[in-house]
Chains A and B, each alone.
Chain A
Amino acid sequence: MKNKRIIDSWNKIEPDSAADVRMLDAILARNRLGRFEKRKVFTMNKAFNWKRLAPVAACLVMIIAVTAIFGNNAGWFGSKVYTAELNGGTLSFYKSGSLGAENKLDFGVDVTSRDLTAEENNTLFGDLGVTSHGVFSESDKMLLHVEGRAGNAKVILAAHGTPVSDAVIETNRNTSEVNGIQVSAGYFITHANSQGIKTIIYLASFDMNGVQIYVECGGSQDMSEEWKSEIAYVIDTLIQNGTPNLSAINE
């Protein structure tokens, strides 16, 4: 014992019998109430656990919905649609398959070919600045097929009933209407090369009064927007120019 005075003094401090009974009664009353409340809370909790899952489930649904919407637009699920605004309407590029098997360019007649002159290119393509090579029917000297370049874009004109390209392209059938012309446009992305670079190629085909027109433009995927703008400009100009007059040029 370290200090008897303090101990003696503290020993005098204790509840009297009346206070003792009062405190114990209150404590036991609370204990009975506490047991009742704890049982009640326990049964409520079992039901409440399910209800608490409702907001969590709602959040999950929201997250999935938002992911689906943004993911779809961003092409996370492989179906992104690129669009380009043209003067005559909105052109949509749908994801296509890929370049398929090569197809032999067979015109069914004997042909000759040569580079078209600047004046002839201007006749066919206007001010697009195209340099091109033409294929003519040997017998009647008619222009059957033209393949040219406008910047990075490849442009092909083909007379009605002649093959357009030597490559079979798995295109999506969806079309967009530009100035009343139904344009089938798509794109495909190659596998990454040894340097990890993927190539995106935009392509479009449409028909103007029997003249088949095919346009293609592409390059590194990280410059996707530039290729899309370039092909959109070429398509828009070709449509604005009207039907190319193949009969104006002959061998």
Chain B
Amino acid sequence: MTKSLLRTDREIVEIYERHKKTVYRVCFAYMKNSADTEDAVQDTFFQLIKTGTAFESVEHEKAWLIRTATNICKNILRNWWRKRGNLEDYENLRGNGDIEIDNVFTVVMGLPDKYKTVVYLYYYEGYNSIEISKILDKPQSTIRNHLHEARIVLREKLGGDFNEK
């Protein structure tokens, strides 16, 4: 990060096109429905516009968006917990449009929130624990613990469907 930027629409479109699927997937794992995921994705890019953060590279840009999306989703969910007694009831009111959610992703969505982004970055994006610790700005030991615990849950719930290799 260097200095605050005022980006043109063209620059925003370029960033959006580069990372929309990544941000959407991270948000969906938390929000579990398409409508709230859209809101979270928009909030993530609103934050980018508001702070005018400048990036050193595309990787830096991606890491910033993933971390911001994760924080925004956690904040939204935290607010929901304050307002509603039963989050599951609320989630069932929303549809998921054309998105197909299979049993594997259902299990991923059922993971504790603290594991979701780590699992996404490790299994989908292919980052190792050192890289994930830098992206999420957390100790490597914490990342390794989260991966270990998430792996146990995934193995338990997916059984034969879950192969490390």
Contacts and interface: CB of A to CB of B under 8 A. Distances in A.
Interface stretch (B64-72, B75-83, B102-110): B102-110
B129 to A, nearest CB: 12
A13 B162 contact: no
B20 A20 contact: yes
B132 interface: no
Contacts of A161: none
A10 B105 contact: yes
Contacts of B45: 23, 27, 30
B88 interface: no
Given A5-B161, A15-B24, A23-B42, A30 B124 contact: no
B72 to A, nearest CB: 14
A13 to B, nearest CB: 5
B38 A27 contact: no
Given A16-B97, A27-B16, A31-B7, A6 B104 contact: yes
B46 A27 contact: yes
Given A13-B28, A28-B9, A2 B105 contact: no
Contacts of B124: 6-7, 10
B123 A6 contact: yes
A7 B25 CA distance: 11
Interface residues of B, number: 43
Interface in A1-56: 1-10, 12-16, 19-20, 22-24, 26-28, 30-32, 34-35, 38
Contacts of B42: 23, 26-27, 30
Determine which residue in A13, A15, A34 has the highest number of CB atoms from chain B within 10 A of its CB, and name it: A13
Task: Tell me what chain A mostly uses at the interface: helix, strand, loop, or mixed.
Answer: helix
A90 to B, nearest CB: 66
Interface string A78-96: 0000000000000000000
B104 A15 contact: no
B139 interface: no
Contact of B24 (A13, A22, A30, A35): A13
Nearest to B120: A10
A2 B119 CA distance: 11
A35 B6 CA distance: 6
A34 B49 contact: yes
A15 B163 contact: no
Contacts of B9: 28, 31-32
Contacts of B101: 12-13
Interface of A: 1-10, 12-16, 19-20, 22-24, 26-28, 30-32, 34-35, 38
23 contacts: A3-B164, A6-B119, A6-B123, A7-B123, A10-B25, A10-B123, A12-B99, A12-B102, A13-B99, A14-B25, A15-B21, A15-B24, A15-B38, A16-B98, A23-B38, A26-B42, A27-B45, A28-B12, A30-B49, A31-B7, A31-B12, A35-B6, A38-B52
